[in-house]
Chains A and B, each alone.
Chain A
Amino acid sequence: MKSKSSLRRQSSTLTLRAWEFTGTALLTLFIWIFLLVFLSPLSYMVVTSLRSSDEFRDRSAPIYPAERLTYVYQGTTYQLYKVPTPDGVIHDWALVKPSRLSSQFIDPAHPEQGLIDWNGSWRSLDGVFHFRIYWDNYINIWKAVDYPHLFRNSLIIVVLSEIGILLSSIAVAYGFSRFRIPGGKFLFFLLIATIVIPDSITLVPSYVIFTRILPWNGTYYPLIVPAFFGSAIYIFLLRQNFRSIPRDLDEAAMLDGAGPLRTLISIIIPQAVPAIVTVALLHFFNTWNELRMASLYLAIRPDLQTMAFSAQAFPTYGFTPEVLQTGAVMLIAIPLVILFLSQRFFMQDMVVTGIEK
């Protein structure tokens, strides 16, 4: 009796385990399939960038990068086809003399048998492919586009703008999170309000300011200088994070005679590293992909153009479709590498509480 009940209990925990396992497996499988569909356009991009032009146009080519097998017969190269014969066997034969109703093939395994006649339309036959990665698109686009130069331009803008945004946003967020300022609540309300201001409203006057009042057309200044004045959304995120840091530590530092700047550098910043890294990364992605300002102010200086800007002209370059996809890979490669290197930190600490407060 006793053993039976314990057995039953055991079996019920076993079924529970089995259920849990099935649940885990099903859920994980479902999300992975969803992810696969979600990212399938990216796999199309990668696969296409690894195809040759002939292979891209070949509708019978498999989904993976592959090359048609060929066979050299009497000094001429012929393509291999999967040829079914009446006895039910499918042979990999090379097509020597194509013709509409019946064609002549050669068996690469037994070339001594000579040409084989086969009745049927050769156009309905599938080719024989083997997996092969074709790297030439990358070599060609590297030759056609001056990537080192574009990379250097993008890097200059990103580094300077990053310095500006971090210095200013950290300082302003510190000001908002730690100081009693008359009218501070109103200023914070203004900050939140500026987040939602559409870009188009400031477009025309900024353009007038940067090109007429300041001689900044065709320079990096319109892209870099605004970063030194902070960005409302980053200030908001950092301020939220700074407020979650206990004040005991900075009060202790103040008592030890540390000034506000010293407290910021030695107490606040070390504790807010994940949030600061997130802001730095967000700003990196935004600046790297930035196109509005670049197309407004750098259009007259082709030598200053950025990677994102150059990609805008790709469709007009007359690239073949596979090279176009290669260009897309080149464009997103650097942000993706940065994202994967930083996934440990990225957005990990971004717990947003009240937006109104």
Chain B
Amino acid sequence: MFNVKRAPAPRSRSPKPDKHLSLRKYEATVGFLFLLPWLLGFLFFKLVPILAALGFSFTNFKMLEPEATRFIGLTNYLTFFKDSSAGASLFGSISYFLLSVPLEMVIALFLAAVFTSERLRGKRIMRTLFFMPSIIPAIAIFIIISGLIDVNNGWITRLFHLSQSTPLYSLFPIILSLWTIGPGFLIMLGAMQAVPKELYEAARVDGAGPINRFVSITVPMSSPAIFFSLVINMISAFGGVALLDRGLSYSQSLSPMESYITYQMFSFSNLGYASALAWIMFILVMVVTIILFRSARYWVHFPEESSDDEI
């Protein structure tokens, strides 16, 4: 019986690779169909606008008189080097990034480390409370902070008996950035909680202290999450939307460069110059991204992926 059934097998072997190929083709087609929404979105909302911005940046495109648009070469880029307020905005964006991101990372990392301790009580509610300010829109934060440091009735001015509130106003963006630690904190906490307990036990047997254990086990084991938090903090520092948006309109973005771009766009309807500035910003963010990803090779320990890696 078995022989009879097996007998036709060799004969059907010849069309089998063909069938396998069509299966692969089918899989690729279906997979591609699933990717289609994002591919179309990428095309129409990312790639085309980015290239169009590049095109605009070589013209004197004005919204109100599109027919007068002419190719002006690199003039917009040369204007940038002469425009001192554009330079100041770019400097402001870079310094905001350099000041806020390390601060956010250190505080979030510290909190996540403390939250892995078994001794801490009331973790769930505290997690939510630490995350809470991250979903408060920037306009509400602005109202709250300006009330808090109000010269006459603010708590801070009353507490410290301050007559001038100017230095506090410059601290305002930093306060705002500290209130965005939520996503990074939760991502790092998730990773730290997933570190196998046996590793700590082994290190304890070897006589490693808590700080030693944190540096040589917790940080390397959760480095992909730390890296991911770093990337999303970088994006939001430069005014983009990563996991959570502060709900700032462009004109009051925390990134001065972004505010300046919209200022050029709406106050002067100078779309050509705005596009050139946006491209400069784009190149800056890409350079920072590449530096971050390059550095990741040295300190981020990506786990070995399983055998289905070829996807």
Binding site for B on A (CB under 8 A): 20, 23-24, 27-28, 31-32, 35, 38-42, 44-45, 48, 56-57, 59, 63, 167-168, 171-172, 174-182, 184, 187, 190-191, 194-209, 212, 226, 228-230, 232-233, 235, 243, 247, 260, 282, 285-286, 288-292, 294-296, 308, 311-312, 314-315, 321, 324-325, 327-328, 331-332, 335-336, 339-340, 343, 346-357
Residue of B nearest to A351 (CB): B190
**Cβ of B26 to closest chain A Cβ, rounded Å:** 9
Is B37 in contact with A197, judged by CB distance below 8 angstroms?
A: no
Is A311 in contact with B139, judged by CB distance below 8 angstroms?
A: yes
Q: Does B117 contact A (CB under 8 A)?
A: yes
Known: A56-B153, A205-B48, A355-B227. A178 touches B139 (CB 8 A): no
Task: Beyond A39-B133, A202-B53, A291-B138, list 12 extra A-B contacts (CB 8 Å).
Answer: A20-B119, A45-B143, A176-B35, A179-B27, A197-B285, A198-B278, A200-B258, A201-B279, A204-B265, A208-B271, A233-B232, A291-B249
B126-138 interface mask toward A, CB cutoff 8 Å, 1 = contact, 0 = none? 1111111101111
Known: A205-B48, A331-B139. A195 touches B231 (CB 8 A): yes
Instruction: Give the chain A neighbours of B238 by CB distance below 8 A.
Output: 198
Interface residues on B, range: 35 or more
Is B50 in contact with A197, judged by CB distance below 8 angstroms?
A: yes
Known: A175-B32, A205-B48. A311 touches B140 (CB 8 A): yes
**Cβ of A47 to closest chain B Cβ, rounded Å:** 9
A292 to B251, CA, bound (A): 9
Name 26 interchain pairs, CB-CB below 8 A, sorted by A: A20-B119, A32-B122, A39-B129, A42-B133, A44-B144, A44-B147, A45-B144, A172-B35, A181-B31, A196-B286, A198-B238, A199-B258, A200-B258, A201-B282, A226-B41, A232-B38, A286-B244, A291-B249, A294-B249, A321-B153, A325-B144, A339-B128, A346-B128, A346-B131, A349-B190, A352-B228
B226-261 interface mask toward A, CB cutoff 8 Å, 1 = contact, 0 = none? 011001101100111111111111110000011001
Q: Which residues of B from 167 to 186 have beta carbons under 8 Å from A?
A: 175, 178, 183, 186
Is A355 in contact with B35, judged by CB distance below 8 angstroms?
A: no
Is B45 in contact with A286, judged by CB distance below 8 angstroms?
A: no
Instruction: Give the chain B neighbours of A31 by CB distance below 8 A.
Output: 114, 120, 126
Q: Does B74 contact A (CB under 8 A)?
A: no
Q: Does B103 contact A (CB under 8 A)?
A: no
Instruction: Give the chain B neighbours of A198 by CB distance below 8 A.
Output: 235, 238-240, 258, 278, 281-282, 285
Is A48 in contact with B147, judged by CB distance below 8 angstroms?
A: yes
Instruction: Give the chain B neighbours of A339 by CB distance below 8 A.
Output: 128, 131-132, 135
User: Which single member of A20, A175, A347 contacts B35 (CB below 8 Å)?
Assistant: A175
Is B53 in contact with A171, judged by CB distance below 8 angstroms?
A: no
Known: A42-B133, A347-B190, A352-B224. A28 touches B121 (CB 8 A): yes
Instruction: Give the chain A neighbours of B42 by CB distance below 8 A.
Output: 190-191, 194, 229
Residue of A nearest to B296 (CB): A356
Is B247 in contact with A290, judged by CB distance below 8 angstroms?
A: yes
Instruction: Give the chain A neighbours of B251 by CB distance below 8 A.
Output: 295
Q: Which residues of B from 115 to 166 have beta carbons under 8 Å from A?
A: 117, 119-122, 124-133, 135-141, 143-145, 147-148, 150, 152-155, 158
Instruction: Give the chain B neighbours of A44 by CB distance below 8 A.
Output: 144, 147-148, 154-155
Q: Does B67 contact A (CB under 8 A)?
A: no
Residue of A nearest to B43 (CB): A229
Instruction: Give the chain A neighbours of B24 by CB distance below 8 A.
Output: 180
Is A180 in contact with B144, judged by CB distance below 8 angstroms?
A: no
Q: Does B206 contact A (CB under 8 A)?
A: no
Instruction: Give the chain B neighbours of A328 by CB distance below 8 A.
Output: 140, 143-144
Is B34 in contact with A179, judged by CB distance below 8 angstroms?
A: yes
Instruction: Give the chain B neighbours of A349 by CB distance below 8 A.
Output: 190
Which of B45, B147, B303 has most chain A Cβ within 10 Å? B147
Which of B119, B138, B158 has most chain A Cβ within 10 Å? B119
User: Which single member of B31, B141, B248, B274 contacts A291 (CB below 8 Å)?
Assistant: B248
Residue of B nearest to A247 (CB): B308
Instruction: Give the chain A neighbours of B150 by CB distance below 8 A.
Output: 321
The 10 A-B pairs with the shortest beta carbon distances in the complex, nearest first, are: A229-B41, A179-B31, A175-B34, A289-B247, A205-B49, A205-B52, A289-B137, A202-B49, A354-B302, A168-B37
